[in-house]
Structure 1
């Protein structure tokens, strides 16, 4: 019986894990190492079925992929690469498991003991490495501080590619470009007014919501807000197919976000960020106050929130944007310090270092 051999299978529980995986997959392809992207697909009743659209995205990008795990029973797989909060309980034969987290994250799950089940974990920056060794000194997981692979692609983008984006989105080259990228929860999205784009009419405005804002049924208020904003001429609202925020990093002059790890990713490119601290909280969070919110969020990450202007009320947002665009060097030193601690080396070669590590730890050293 013929056995299909894969150097790595990227187990992709959500399509927004792909931006972290793709630079690594490209490097494997460059070295002739066979890989497969396995898409988990829609499984929750709370989510709209997006399987067909995900398949179309992967086909358009000419990726080696399949939906589900059928046919992998007899495959020979060296590495199962994951990006979620938990070690997956999935019936795929593999020799070693690898964690490449999909985001830096401000939630407690980033330091959960569950992640010690992985054989190899790639780390971003000295802070997380120190904390993990402090929390779990006896853990057997191999920790490799290599950086954040997602940023490799933005550093590789050419000026011609960026110029083409101006044309694609119909943006005015004489205007600065803002990227508003809120997370789904806790989020500032629903606290932003319907005429938000009108108040920022002097800018090109990209709005990139979290993927869950589109596919989870309970976020219908967020989708209604996005529909309103999409009608403004200076706005491009990224849709379902725009799963990868990386190209928008290259185009934008400033980022506005909230509890999303994109804050740290964008700041690592030495561009100014605004942190919206006015968040829409669910009823239970409002009833039980900060205590419930603290249980969800990682307090150790609070020290890095000063890498940009913190805005506590929407009325102060425009002033904050103007201030940071006029003097982008305001938080330059702090951005560099935070990047060193929680992103690591930003040189466009993170994926190269990752594949180097995987080849070094390959079970067949004679290959």
Structure 2
């Protein structure tokens, strides 16, 4: 069996790696496809990360080149982390998989199934039911969220706080915002000083560090990183799980990270304030609501909610002092929106691929 993994962006890789590890235990040919960008430094980072897997690798210029390669290879399965075009052509020679790169509250979680792959692996009963209702002809399989398997199985490569230059006697806050809609630009410039009694690990979305349109976010993050109690993860440090393992509390906004950290039964603070473009404000507020699906309402139950930056301090204190306060809620919501957290999600994916 030959399986090709399409890696449009480096941050798709953590979702794939557990599945790749299980596939290696079988008689499987595995190939990775990466994409070049206009940023040569970024290209070097991506290629180095993909080469570290010690798997056959091809870097393509664009989707058309990838498509040509796929049609020639005639692999049994091609795995995607997002929606792609030309599925009808691909299905003439291969079967396709969608493993969505995140489980966050953005409506794109559902939109990407408008053009159906052969199978889409989904996470949890709620999402499975929603997708089946929206796309009755789709083939959806609840595998759980494979990305979390290494953390559940204690196989995550972690850092020590000391290796990041942080104080091992302090509680550690992990700030992992998304790129849009994001809370970053509504945080104070004094963020590190306001939380001087804590370590702060900054793990922004890949785009916050690589896309020119988010340069203000990058500037603010880099300014915070000058303080002794702050560590800013670089683009090459693409796996959020490594930082989740050594953090006590997650601070985030409209990000998959909230479901992921809660699934590890750790407290989450939801920043329910966002820097919105003018086209998403006022009479255009409906665009923001359209971008976010109903699962963000679950954050009210799952998280400590900070309505603005000033409210963050009290939320942090509550989360650090009472980490088990929302344990039962985290368990229930994880079952609905992330699925079984048993360390066997990747095995279920591979079992399906082999069987079919």
- Does TM, scored on the shorter chain, surpass 0.5? yes
1:349 pairs with 2:341:
no
Residue of 25, 29, 54 corresponding to 1:30: 25
Tell me how far apart the structure 1 counterparts of residues 201 and 155 of structure 2 sit (CA, whole Å): 20
For residue 263 of structure 1, report the CA deviation from its aligned partner: 0.3
Match of 1:130 in 2: 129
TM-superposition CA deviations, 1:44-100 (whole Å, max 9, x none): xxx78722221112223434322123755532300010011x234388674201110
Match of 1:285 in 2: 280
Tell me how far apart the structure 2 counterparts of residues 113 and 40 of structure 1 sit (CA, whole Å): 20
- Cα-Cα RMSD: 2.1
Residue of 316, 325, 350 corresponding to 1:330: 325
Residue of 139, 150, 154 corresponding to 1:142: 139
- Structure 1 unaligned spans of 5+: 1-5, 362-367
Number of equivalent positions: 348
Change (3 A) 1:107 1:99: same
For residue 300 of structure 1, report the CA deviation from its aligned partner: 4.8
1:53 pairs with 2:52:
no
TM-superposition CA deviations, 1:148-199 (whole Å, max 9, x none): 011012223369x54x422320222211111000000110001111110111
Match of 2:63 in 1: none
Tell me how far apart the structure 1 counterparts of residues 81 and 69 of structure 2 sit (CA, whole Å): 22
For residue 303 of structure 1, report the CA deviation from its aligned partner: 3.2
Change (3 A) 1:168 1:61: farther
- 8 Å Cα contact 2:113-2:135 kept in structure 1: no
TM-superposition CA deviations, 1:242-299 (whole Å, max 9, x none): 1111111111111000001110011000000000011111111124353221121113
Match of 2:101 in 1: 102
Tell me how far apart the structure 2 counterparts of residues 89 and 210 of structure 1 sit (CA, whole Å): 28
Match of 2:119 in 1: 120
Counterparts of 1:1-367 in structure 2 under 5 Å? 7-42=2-37, 50-68=42-60, 69=66, 73-84=71-82, 86-89=83-86, 94-112=93-111, 114-137=113-136, 139=137, 141-157=138-154, 162=158, 164-361=159-356
- Structure 2 unaligned spans of 5+: 61-65
For residue 346 of structure 1, report the CA deviation from its aligned partner: 0.6
Tell me how far apart the structure 1 counterparts of residues 285 and 166 of structure 2 sit (CA, whole Å): 40
